[in-house]
Amino acid sequence: MFFTVIKDSSGWLAGVHPVVLVLLSSIIAVGVLCLGFRLWAFTIKPAFRPYEPRELPYWIPVLGHAVQYVKSGQDVITRARKYFGDTRAPFALTLGGEKMFFLTDPKQVADFHKNTTSLAFDKIAQELSTTFGVSQKTLQTTYRRPNSEEVDVPAKIMQIQNPRNKSLAELNNDFWKQQLVPGPLYYKLQDECLQYLDNSLKPESIAHNYKGPTDEKGTTVSLLRLMQDVLMDAALRAFFGDKMMELEPNLIRDFIDFDEDNWKLWYKWPDAKEMFAAKSKLSKSVQRWLNTPEEERPGAAFIVETFEKTQRAMGTPIEDLANILVLIIFVANTNTYKVCFWALAYILNDPDLLHKVQQESAAAFQADGTLSTKQLMDSSPWIAAVFHEALRWCSASTSLRLVTAPTIIGGKELPVGSRVAVPARQTLFMPEAFGDDADVFNPERFIRDEKLTKSPSYKPFGGGTTYCPGRFIARQECSVVIAILLKNFNTDVLGEGKAPELDLTKPTTGLVTPKDGQDVIVRLSPKSEILP
Ligand code: HEM
- Indicate the pLDDT class of residue 14, thresholds 50, 70 and 90: low
462 lines ligand 1 (CB under 6 A): yes
* Protein residue closest via CA to atom 30 of ligand 1: 332
Q: Is the CB of 461 under 6 A from ligand 1?
A: yes
| CA separation for the pair 525, 207 (Å, rounded) | 10
What is the pTM (predicted TM-score) of this model? Answer: 0.93
Give the ipTM: 0.99
The backbone torsions φ and ψ at residue 145, rounded to the nearest 5 degrees and listed phi first, read: -80, 140
pLDDT surpassing 80 at residue 472: yes
Predicted pLDDT of residue 496: 83
Residue 7: pLDDT above 80?
Answer: no
474 lines ligand 1 (CB under 6 A): yes
- Per-residue pLDDT reduced to its tens digit, 420-447: 999 999 999 999 999 999 999 999 999 9
302 CB-side CA count, 13 A: 19
Mutate to test the pocket of ligand 1, among 192, 461, 482 (most ligand atoms within 8 A of CB): 461
Tell me if 302 sits within 8 A of 175, measured CB to CB. Answer: yes
Let me know: does 502 contact 394? Beta carbons within 8 Å: yes
- The per-residue pLDDT for range 77-108, each reduced to its tens digit, is 999 999 999 999 999 999 988 999 999 999 99
Ligand 1 within 6 A of CB of 339 = yes
Residue 34 annotated as binding? no
Structural element, H or E, at residue 422: strand 419-423
Distance 389 CA to ligand 1 centre (A): 18
- Whether ligand 1 lies within 6 angstroms of the CB of 460 is answered as yes
Distance 470 CA to ligand 1 centre (A): 6
Q: How many angstroms separate the Cα of 505 from the Cα of each of 74, 263, 344, 407?
A: 8, 12, 22, 32
Cα 124 to ligand 1 centre (Å) = 14
The predicted structure's pLDDT at residue 259: 95
Among protein residues, the one whose CA lies closest to atom 18 of ligand 1: 468
332 lines ligand 1 (CB under 6 A): yes
> Is the model's pLDDT at 340 over the cut of 50?
yes
* C-alpha to C-alpha distance for 11 and 23, rounded to whole angstroms: 19
Mean pLDDT of the 44-48 span:
92
SS3 398: strand
pLDDT digits (tens, 9 = 90+) for 156-178: 999 999 999 999 999 999 999 99
pLDDT in tens, 208-264: 898 766 667 789 999 999 999 999 999 999 999 999 999 999 999 999 999 999 988
Atom of ligand 1 nearest to the CA of 124: 16
Are the C-beta atoms of residues 271 and 222 closer than 8 Å to each other? no
- What is the pLDDT, as a whole number, of residue 5? 43
* Amino acid, single-letter form, for residue 13: L
How far does the centroid of ligand 1 lie from the alpha carbon of residue 269, in Å? 24
Whole-number Å distance, alpha carbon 271 to ligand 1 midpoint, is: 28
- Is the C-beta atom of 375 inside 6 A of ligand 1? no
pLDDT score for 12? 52
By alpha-carbon position, which residue is closest to atom 6 of ligand 1? 461
Q: Name residue 511's beta-bridge partners.
A: 395
pLDDT at position 8: 46
- 403, 468 in Cβ contact below 8 A? no
pLDDT at res. 403? 97
Going from the Cα of 335 to the center of ligand 1, the distance in angstroms, rounded, reads 9
| d(CA 346, ligand 1 centre) in Å | 24
Mean pLDDT for 407-428 is 97
The residue contributing the CA closest to ligand 1 atom 19 is 468
Q: Using the mean position of ligand 1's atoms as its centre, give its distance from the Cα of residue 356 in Å.
A: 30
pLDDT at 215: 67
Q: Is there an atom of ligand 1 within 6 Å of 335 CB?
A: yes
Nearest 5°: CA angle at 41, between 39 and 46? 100
The better pLDDT of the pair 369, 508 is held by 369
Whether residue 532 is predicted with pLDDT greater than 70 in this model: the reply is no
Helices H / strands E in the chain, number of each? 25, 12
Are 163 and 280 in contact by the 8 Å Cβ rule? The answer is: no
Number of residues written out for the chain: 532
- Taking the C-alpha atoms of residue 164 and residue 20, their distance in angstroms, rounded to an integer, is 71
Is residue 470 in contact with ligand 1, taking CB distance under 6 Å?
yes
CA–CA distance, 135 with 371 (Å, rounded to integer): 45
